[in-house]
Structure 1
């Protein structure tokens, strides 16, 4: 019995360690500075990631069609894919002239082996040679069978008007046959392409012929949050934006110390352009960032007068898919009265912020940096349509809107 338990533990440990070697995961369109995996049907998306083991393993991607609420749909793979829903990732290149060795993997979808034929929610999984899932990413393919108009404004709730934003929208569908909009139409509102910040189960406030209106209700409100912090590590040996110190010990990777952020519960909003939590891999010390950008250990510091009671602090951003993981957890240092954390990241421009997590594993995006109605956020409205008797949720349109403080 002890041998069985030990074997299971070793397998779990190996998989966990193995997963930690996968870095810099991106799923994006080919257009420059486009970070969204919510795209029209037929758009080429590229999945890329690095394996720090640098041993060119056999990885495969797998595509699953999902419902509007991210459950596995009833469609067979042959009904939404022309070709194969699972295939090997063949484009592999080794890093060049870097302190941290890695293998860079990439695959474009659609490709000659995989062509997606239907709109909807999709889950993309990457599996190792034992068919174990290493990570997943969501993407959405939509049609242009309807039109969604979106307006983002300051909240009208007197208690939160300085902290929240309201999303109102309409859905026009003159070319769709909708008999029961409440059952056949579902909408999801997503903030800054972060699937942890969505509104679902919204019902229309007005019904018109071939049009649904979703006017203001308290349920349409989002916390505004704050603009993301940022740093640029495009130079591995020299300081760049918000990098205050650089060290290297022996032949290890460089250590970059990011300008500390000081917690202030009375902080006021300050405009600071950002890319809504995203990141861009880049280096000015090579020609191909995919294989010539190096890795550096990034040191984050959050100055506080006292530690947060019964709450942990995490570094948060698209670099880790807006997830709470041990790798991005910060620890309080009594000597400096600060939370400190380190994350190994590839050279580039990064947005990030700090969040707290309580004992119930609830994430608070606003406790450290505040929430303001002026914050520039982008909202997308995804409209799903499944007619009576239909087998899957089509995404018939996506509308988008950004907050404008001048409104």
Structure 2
């Protein structure tokens, strides 16, 4: 009897663990340039309207022309699995092979480029709004990587205003998001319990503010006028480079070299936290694949070893420094870590990236694995940042969390 009881408890623990929050699975080294987007040219966190399409593209650099399959799952607001079965949120079938792929053309680095569009003939559409995960499997049914995306309905109007923080200690470093939700098209019952707001800065879910409740209501409006609860550090404009022509030094690139592949050496970057803020247009951490004289950049753009250099100062000595940006979905791992070169007194790293225009910054990873984005770049209230607000709603007795509105704001015209 005790053994049976122990087995039962183990099964229950496994079941509970399997229904915890799901995280994105990061790809192996041979999978590069995962471009996940809606109806915009650059890669981003896809937030699409119900009925619109989403596109996933990626490169496999192993040259095997492997078969890949996709699955789609629906999740609750907190990224725990929803109770909906696939026929309730999907029209058609998933677990289908990605049929659209091509091999690279006239490149030093050989690769196969895969492209998946949803809806398609097999997966004819997604029926409901909410959180989704797109999972990519190989022919052995092993999960290769996964990506989150969201689908929303236009049931509410969401006004987003960006203001400076009220706290005098952070007024020069932080940006505050104020939200006004108008629900003329639907009745929001008991909003303190049924409505949750998510605020995302620059499409980065790692720094998003979750589960924000309305401060008060006026008629059919929900008002969010918090201070610290809805504030983000402003950060600084991203650094950037462009290497659309690998045979010549482009923007941000000091020199080039051709070995087995092209190598591009960037100019040395310096710490900006102690310097005055200067406006420099960026694309908020994103990247765009470009190549000169290419008819189809998805298969004609080459891969280049990009060499990064950061000049240290006393504050940065012995810090765990990483390269940060949407080129790898804001992942921090060994590949992004800077190494101190004592001979040249520089922090260095090299990343294999596809030709294009890239934003990046340097961040410090603390001992508790938290990321300090402002330690090297600084935090300034003037920084231009994009904000998305998603409104989740689960009515009393409902079985899943809907997304009933999307609002966007920009700190370009920040006010007091």
**Please, what TM-score do these two structures have when normalized by structure 1?**
0.93
Secondary structure of the structure 1 residue equivalent to 2:304: strand
The residue that corresponds to 1:338 in the other structure is 346
Q: Aligned equivalents of 2:273 and 2:354: distance in 1?
A: 32
Q: Aligned equivalents of 2:220 and 2:95: distance in 1?
A: 39
- Conserved in 2, the CA contact under 8 Å of 1:304 and 1:338? yes
Cα RMSD, aligned residues only = 1.7
The residue that corresponds to 1:160 in the other structure is 170
Secondary structure of the structure 1 residue equivalent to 2:88: helix
Q: Aligned equivalents of 2:256 and 2:279: distance in 1?
A: 28
- Conserved in 1, the CA contact under 8 Å of 2:195 and 2:393? yes
After superposition, what is the alpha-carbon deviation per residue over 1:330-389, rounded to whole angstroms, capped at 9, x for unaligned? 111112221101100000000001111112111111101100000000111100111011
Q: Aligned equivalents of 1:221 and 1:245: distance in 2?
A: 40
Distance 1:331 1:34, change over 3 A: closer
The residue that corresponds to 1:181 in the other structure is 191
The residue that corresponds to 1:300 in the other structure is 308
CA shift at 1:40, angstroms? 0.8
Q: Aligned equivalents of 2:359 and 2:95: distance in 1?
A: 33
In the TM superposition, 1:139-288 aligns within 5 A as: 139-249=149-259, 252-288=260-296
CA shift at 1:32, angstroms? 3.1
CA shift at 1:34, angstroms? 7.0
After superposition, what is the alpha-carbon deviation per residue over 1:17-63, rounded to whole angstroms, capped at 9, x for unaligned? 98100000011124435745111111111100000012211101111
- Conserved in 1, the CA contact under 8 Å of 2:165 and 2:227? no
- Conserved in 2, the CA contact under 8 Å of 1:306 and 1:337? no
The residue that corresponds to 2:10 in the other structure is none
Q: Which runs of 5+ in 1 are unaligned?
A: 1-15
Q: Aligned equivalents of 1:82 and 1:293: distance in 2?
A: 35
Secondary structure of the structure 2 residue equivalent to 1:20: coil
Q: Which runs of 5+ in 2 are unaligned?
A: 1-24
Secondary structure of the structure 1 residue equivalent to 2:120: coil
Q: Aligned equivalents of 2:318 and 2:393: distance in 1?
A: 43
Out of 121-130 and 157-166, give the one that drifted further: 121-130
The residue that corresponds to 1:28 in the other structure is 37
Q: Aligned equivalents of 1:208 and 1:74: distance in 2?
A: 34
After superposition, what is the alpha-carbon deviation per residue over 1:104-160, rounded to whole angstroms, capped at 9, x for unaligned? 000101111111111111111111112221111111111001111110011111000
- Residue 401 (1) aligns with residue 404 (2): no
The residue that corresponds to 1:54 in the other structure is 63
Q: Aligned equivalents of 2:27 and 2:77: distance in 1?
A: 32
Secondary structure of the structure 2 residue equivalent to 1:19: coil
Count the aligned residue pairs. Answer: 390
**Please, what TM-score do these two structures have when normalized by structure 2?**
0.91
The residue that corresponds to 2:299 in the other structure is 291
CA shift at 1:285, angstroms? 3.4
- Conserved in 2, the CA contact under 8 Å of 1:153 and 1:404? no
Q: Aligned equivalents of 2:206 and 2:36: distance in 1?
A: 17
